[in-house]
Amino acid sequence: MVIKSDGLAAGKGVVIAKSQKEATTTIHKMLGEHQFDTKSIIIEEFLTGQEFSLMAFIQDEQIIPMPLSQDHKAAYDGDEGPNTGGMGAYSPLQHFPSDLVNEGVEKIIRPIIRTLKKKNITFCGILYAGLIMTDSGPKVIEFNVRLGDPETVVVLPQLQSDLYEMLQGLLHHQVPVVKWQKDQVYLGVVISSQTYPQASARGVELADFNYLPSNITVNYAGVSCNRDGQLISNGGRILCLTTGASNITKAQAILYGWLNQHPILGLRYRSDIGDKAK
Torsion of CA 90, 184, 208, 271, to 10 degrees: 40
**What is the pLDDT, as a whole number, of residue 11?**
72
| 250 CB-near residues (< 8 Å, 6+ apart) | none
**What is the pLDDT, as a whole number, of residue 23?**
97
Residue 16 one-letter amino acid: I
**What is the pLDDT, as a whole number, of residue 9?**
86
Determine contact, residues 166/64, Cβ cutoff 8 Å: yes
Each of the 278 residues of the chain gets a pLDDT tens digit; together they read: 999 999 888 777 899 999 999 999 999 999 999 999 999 999 998 999 999 999 999 999 999 999 999 999 999 999 999 889 999 999 999 999 999 999 999 999 999 999 999 999 999 999 999 999 999 899 998 899 999 999 999 999 999 999 999 999 999 999 899 999 999 999 999 999 999 999 988 999 999 999 999 999 999 999 999 999 999 999 999 999 999 999 999 999 999 999 999 998 999 999 999 999 99
**What is the pLDDT, as a whole number, of residue 120?**
96
**What is the pLDDT, as a whole number, of residue 18?**
92
